[in-house]
Amino acid sequence: MQTGVGRLGTLFAYEHFGVVPDVMTIAKAIGCGIPLSAMLTMDKFAEHLGQGTHGTTFGGNPLACAVGEAALHAISQPELLYGVRERHDYLVSRLRQIGKRYGVFEEVRGIGLLIGCVLAEPWRGKAREVAKAALAHGVMVLQAGQDVMRLAPSLNISYPEIDEGLARLEVLAQELSHEAVIC
């Protein structure tokens, strides 16, 4: 659910991997905060889904469908998708610099605007604590397992917003680095 609808710099994640799914479900991003989900399938499978044979909790209401249509229109614009890929390159490059400078990240990986920063020793197993510390610095990050800090910013985040977030993360990295030296 988190990798679809523009997050990886393509409309759908499968486009990165040379496969075409028989059935695909989408949610979250298509609703932009309004509960909405959809199931997409190829025509040869859809013909077996007669009226009433499948359902959804978050499908069908007119407001949600209008939001979904507007979201798909905006997100599928080539400029936005290209911008996601450009922002990825910028963010990953800067995060790697921070990781190298302060020894906080062992690896920075991901596709599009779904980026994982693998924590180096002595922060392994402390992704939750690092995420809480980032929030205290005004940057909302997620925990992906015990060792990875995940970033999933807005698809249309501006470069000044990225720079502000990176500056705050750099202060955090510097503090973590200092704590590691003291320990």
Q: Is 103 helix (H, G, I), strand (E, B) or coil?
A: coil
Which helix H or strand E contains 41, and what residues bound it? strand 38-41
pLDDT digits (tens, 9 = 90+) for 110-120: 999 999 999 99
> Does 4 map to a domain?
no
CATH (domain of 110): 3.90.1150.10
Give yes or no for a contact between 169 and 137, defined as CB atoms under 8 angstroms apart.
yes
Give a three-class secondary structure readout of 64-122. HHHHHHHHHHHHCCHHHHHHHHHHHHHHHHHHHHHHHHHCCEEEEEEECCEEEEEECCC
Residues 70-112 pLDDT 10s: 999 999 999 999 999 999 999 999 999 999 999 999 999 999 9
d(CA 36, CA 27): 6
pLDDT value for 183: 45
Instruction: Tally the domains of the chain.
Output: 2
In a domain, 113, yes or no: yes
In a domain, 1, yes or no: no
Q: What is the structure's pLDDT at 59?
A: 63
Shared domain for 128 and 174, answered yes or no, is yes
Domain that holds residue 120: 81-182
Whether 2 is covered by a domain: the verdict is: no
State whether 65 and 120 are in the same domain: no
Q: Has residue 3 been placed in a domain?
A: no
- The H or E element that residue 26 is part of is strand 23-26
Same domain, 35 and 93: no
Q: How far apart are CA 55 and CA 52, in angstroms?
A: 7
Q: Is 62 in the same domain as 93?
A: no
Instruction: Assess whether 30 and 96 both reside in one domain.
Output: no
pTM value is 0.86
pLDDT of res. 182: 47
Average pLDDT along the chain, 183 residues, taken 10 residues at a time: 82 90 86 84 86 69 90 94 97 97 96 96 93 96 95 96 98 86 47
Which domain-ending residue is among 55, 76, 97?
Answer: 76
Residues 72 and 98 in one domain: no
Are residues 158 and 139 part of one domain? Answer: yes
- What pLDDT does residue 1 have? 58
Phi, psi of 121 (to 5 degrees): -60, 145
Assigned domain for 7 exists: no
With beta carbons less than 8 A apart as the criterion, state whether 163 and 129 touch: no
C-alpha 175: how far from its chain's center? 26
Is 148 part of any domain? Answer: yes
- DSSP result, 109-157: EEETTEEEEEEPTTSTT-HHHHHHHHHHTT---EE-SSSEEEE---TT-
8 Å CB contact between 47 and 84: no
If asked whether residues 96 and 178 sit together in one domain, one would say yes
Same domain, 31 and 118: no
In angstroms, rounded to a whole number, what is the distance separating the alpha carbons of residues 173 and 139?
Answer: 12
**Cβ atoms of 34 and 63 closer than 8 Å:** yes
Residue where one domain finishes, among candidates 76, 99, 126: 76
Q: Where is the domain boundary, 32, 60, 76? A: 76
* Residue whose C-alpha is closest to residue 153's, from 29, 60, 26, 44: 29
